[in-house]
Structure 1
Amino acid sequence: MSLLHVTEVSKTFPGVRALDRVSFTLRPGEVHALVGENGAGKSTLIKVLTGVYQPDEGELTYQGSPARFGTPMDAQHAGISTIYQEVNLVPLMSVAQNLFLGREPRNALGLVDRKRMEREARELLAGYGVTTDVRRPLGTLALGAQQMVALARAVMIEAKVVIMDEPTSSLEPREVRTLFGVIRDLHARGIGIVYVSHRLDELYEICDAVTILRDGRVVHTGQLAELSRIRLVSLMLGREMTEGATAFSGAATGDGDAPPVLRVRGLNSRHKLHDVSFDVRPGEVVGLGGLLGAGRSETIKAIGGAYHLDSGDVEVDGKDLRKPTTVRAVKAGIAVQPEDRKAEGIIPTLSVRENIALAVLPRLSRLGLVSDARVDEVVTAYMTRLRIKAASPDQAVGDLSGGNQQKVLLARLLATGPKALLLDEPTRGIDVGAKAEVQSLIDELAAEGLGVVLVSSDAEELIEGSDRVVVLRDGVVVGTLTGAEVTTEDLMAAIAGERS
């Protein structure tokens, strides 16, 4: 008997089919892993289950009856509770108030019984390993403790289904063990759990079943114990291991004897990065491989000074940046292309000319006055070199195709004269033709002696475009592929933890 069943559910947004005839079954007392890379459809499915979105097609069955939740509150009242990766409670209210928000205990006069609420809050949280003054504002607690408060609140509403979205992302190892103890208790009580995580060790320790999504479709569902780690990874990435190895060919080889243009040593950031180290030599493309959440983007941002580091060193051409900041990184010769070009890269309302010149205006000015002629010279040169297709340099970047927007961003980075170019998903969201042009450009830049770090969720692109691949898992370097080892097979084995 199923507790929650999804039958042939589809959901379409303008230009995107987020879910395509997805079926999913959660049984009482089952811990069911929901996995997939970025854009696979996990978040959309969760929002359909919790009433945030209404499906375009298909139906939901809950406890044996057809169900349709018009709002998240409807789903919560029915017994479906969600714990999100980002704590969605009220930081200025006390811990006790957050736990009992909307269901405060009251005395005979109908007033909130504060003493009882605080007593019950202390007793409840003790079972989750949280010992704190429940009168404190929630926002003053460590993020891990806030996450445990959110978990306690979700479970105390007598939920029959608990959806956990990356619940351990902010937890210490001790807190993770406590969480797993709570999950096992829920399991024993017949509560169904949908568990979203990218951490393979966690999945295989705590989950009974798994459903894998890719591009909005279910590509596998079944018992997790019957699925090897390497098969799980290959299904997520859409690369069959039976294809055999795809040896690297085509990228620049770099100068193996030259000193590194970029040296990264011992990057540590709480919960996210753990002793990450690697080198990049002139003319070399070093790929960062791993699943979603492995720490690839965090590594790129940390090197570029845009992500907090607890410790670690970054050197460019032998010069230590000390604690990297974005200003120091740019001055040292590091250029970073972020994963989300629209939110963190281009300024869509500005022109092509303005976007390209943005990073080099200080260099093109004298006594605070910018030389239009010098700006035009730089912009024309890079529009020509990168073959940027625009009506004119004055056209708004937001009006360009995704591929040309990406080229404008690359032009801005190259105009700074970098020594190391860090590219996070440089071909995501662009058409096949533009993708080939960007890949060719990366090869050209490496051939000219630039050191390149490449992050891509496309395993084939990463393999074909890299000289070496540094593989990350849960913020730790778990392997480095070189030479004949740069294959799809070895990459997936390293990600799955099955490569010596």
Structure 2
Amino acid sequence: MMQQDTHPVGLRIRGGTKVYPGTVALKNADFDLRMGAVNVLVGENGAGKSTMMKVIAGVEQLTSGTIYVGDQEVHLASTEDAARHGIGIVFQELNLFPNMTVADNIFINREKTRYGVDIDRTAQREATRALMRRLEHDIDPDALVGDLKVGQQQIVEIAKSLAQDARILILDEPTSALSAAEVEILFRVIEELKRDGVGIVYISHRLEELIRVGDYITVLRDGVITGARSMQGVDIPWIVLNMIGDASKDFPKTIDHPFGPEVFRAEDVYLPNGSGGFSVNGVSLSLRAGEILGIYGLMGAGRTEFVETAMGRYPHARGRFTVDGQEATSPHVSDRIKMGLAIIPEDRKQDGLVQILSIRENMTLSSLGDLSTMGHLDLPRERQTVGDYVKQLLIKIASPENPVSSLSGGNQQKVVIGKALMTKPKVLLMDEPSRGIDIGAKAEVFRVMRQLASEGLGIIFVTSDLEEVMGLSDRIIVMSNGRITGEFTKETATETALITASAVGHAVTHQKETVS
């Protein structure tokens, strides 16, 4: 057992309870945050993890209970209060200004100035470059954050916290948008912070990742702490048992069914990237009804750009798409939806939901025409339809009239999936569908995917998770640098083969023969 006195407690919560209207998010929780160590926090979506972290970060305040920093009782009334006590947080839903530069985002509200008169932008740029070197990234300090990929934005968010010299750092799903190489960089930074005595709270749904990086673990279920101990001796069955009460939730078993005719085809798709090259470089593929096609690759491979091009997001793209034999000639997203395409975007907060609208209004945004009669929205029918999808997708809500922003990340993702399914698509494009979803919600989403495929829906899903793509796909395509660099069946796919194909610049096809 790890000697706990080598990692002194830097922050304690005693009797922590947080009540929201209609729900108790945290129930009499006792939590110890140890310094110079990674304190892993795990639980299903809605278990209370984010609530506890928001309380520590000063975003929310406890309904009852006490917080101590060191031996001092504190009241963290705001994020500024928390920052004064050396507490920083990197939120899963990134808090960045897209119309400002990387450097300006990192130093927002803490600007470097010349004699307190004006902002020293040169100093901010240099400090940003130093942070990026530390994070082993070459992101331009003057780049607009809105122009960056989600994974790069996550790096900027982490740099923002590092710039504050936080003594307690909360990382909420920090690897959800990072490639495998970027995850390794983050882990090296975490080890460096631990050596400096920083106490890190680490939230992730990737259980193997938690076991690798964690020193202590706390498990939450329905707002109650169900397990807290040193990470030594902890395995995945122990975590799952404490998270959900049993170890039965896993990848769904394949529902055997025959595939139908071709339902989607892409031919010679090119998307210029603005710097003389191509984000999507000559991609051709097809999909049959009832088939799940996984597209695997690392960040920057062109996977997201491909599915977005299929939806008509980039009118300047070249190539040919057909849906159920009908060529997509219109570049408009609305026309692609009418043809039978639907997409689950990677960034649900920015591209999938309108945060100020209710759950009901978000779910029906793309299918209002189908729910209207003579130009008037049929509200009873809308409520009934939303209720049916809430049940089908097992979305945990108190009321469909609550704002969608009140839901946990996993339940928000299921709302986006419900919105897409309401358009009755023939082809469903899913970009990182399990990003930020816990083990239970992930299994539910994957079961729905298999069920939909068995009913004849063609599904293309993008992922950087090897276990996911191998466990769910009927066929796998690998992309790298905008090109298809490998194609595999369930029988021929191995982790080694997929990783190898994702790192090469030429096509490797293994549909007939076994990959060694």
TM-score (norm 1): 0.60
Deviation of the 1:334 alpha carbon: 4.9
1:191 maps to amino acid? V
Whether the 8 Å CA contact 1:261–1:451 is kept in 2: the answer is yes
Instruction: Specify the structure having the higher radius of gyration (Cα).
Output: 1
**1:2 has 2:4 as partner:** no
Give the alignment partner of residue 457 of structure 1, picking from 434, 437, 441. Answer: 441
Distance 1:458 1:140 in 2: 28
**1:359 has 2:365 as partner:** no
- Determine helix, strand or coil for the equivalent of 1:226: coil
Deviation of the 1:185 alpha carbon: 0.8
Match for residue 261 of structure 2? 259
Q: Please show how residues 289-368 of structure 1 align to structure 2 within 5 Å.
A: 305=311, 316-317=323-324, 326-334=333-341, 358-359=369-370
Q: Could you give the per-residue CA deviations for residues 158-180 of structure 1, whole angstroms, max 9, x where no partner exists?
A: 32101112223444544433322
Q: Could you give the per-residue CA deviations for residues 227-257 of structure 1, whole angstroms, max 9, x where no partner exists?
A: 2234434544x25237999999xx9x75x26
**Residues 259/192 of structure 1: CA separation in 2 closer, same or farther (3 Å cut):** same
Whether the 8 Å CA contact 1:7–1:24 is kept in 2: the answer is yes
**1:224 has 2:231 as partner:** yes
Distance 1:46 1:69 in 2: 12
Give the alignment partner of residue 64 of structure 2, picking from 41, 57, 69. Answer: 57
1:358 maps to amino acid? G
Match for residue 511 of structure 2? none
Distance 2:103 2:251 in 1: 53
Whether the 8 Å CA contact 2:15–2:64 is kept in 1: the answer is yes
**1:426 has 2:428 as partner:** no
Q: Please show how residues 197-276 of structure 1 align to structure 2 within 5 Å.
A: 197-233=204-240, 235-236=242-243, 238=244, 240-241=246-247, 256=258, 258-259=260-261
Distance 2:343 2:154 in 1: 32
2:386 maps to amino acid? Q
Deviation of the 1:48 alpha carbon: 0.6
Distance 1:244 1:203 in 2: 17
**Residues 22/472 of structure 1: CA separation in 2 closer, same or farther (3 Å cut):** farther
**1:14 has 2:16 as partner:** no
**1:142 has 2:148 as partner:** yes
Give the alignment partner of residue 165 of structure 1, picking from 167, 172, 185. Answer: 172
Distance 1:78 1:472 in 2: 41
- Determine helix, strand or coil for the equivalent of 1:241: coil
Give the alignment partner of residue 78 of structure 1, picking from 82, 85, 96. Answer: 85
Whether the 8 Å CA contact 1:87–1:147 is kept in 2: the answer is no
Match for residue 406 of structure 1? 387
Match for residue 156 of structure 1? 163
**Residues 96/149 of structure 1: CA separation in 2 closer, same or farther (3 Å cut):** same
- Determine helix, strand or coil for the equivalent of 2:53: helix
Match for residue 107 of structure 2? 99
Identity %: 25
5+ residue gaps, structure 2: 1-7, 274-282, 295-303, 399-417, 434-439, 474-516
Whether the 8 Å CA contact 1:337–1:424 is kept in 2: the answer is no
Q: Could you give the per-residue CA deviations for residues 392-451 of structure 1, whole angstroms, max 9, x where no partner exists?
A: x56595xx5xx66334xx7xxxxxxxxxxxx996341469xxxxxxxxxx9xx9xxxx99
2:470 maps to amino acid? G
5+ residue gaps, structure 1: 289-297, 362-370, 380-392, 411-422, 432-441, 483-500
Whether the 8 Å CA contact 1:313–1:323 is kept in 2: the answer is no
Q: Could you give the per-residue CA deviations for residues 375-402 of structure 1, whole angstroms, max 9, x where no partner exists?
A: 89xx9xxxxxxxxxxxxx56595xx5xx
Distance 2:337 2:10 in 1: 54
Whether the 8 Å CA contact 1:208–1:224 is kept in 2: the answer is yes
Distance 1:333 1:133 in 2: 39
Distance 1:287 1:219 in 2: 38
- Determine helix, strand or coil for the equivalent of 1:95: helix
2:212 maps to amino acid? E
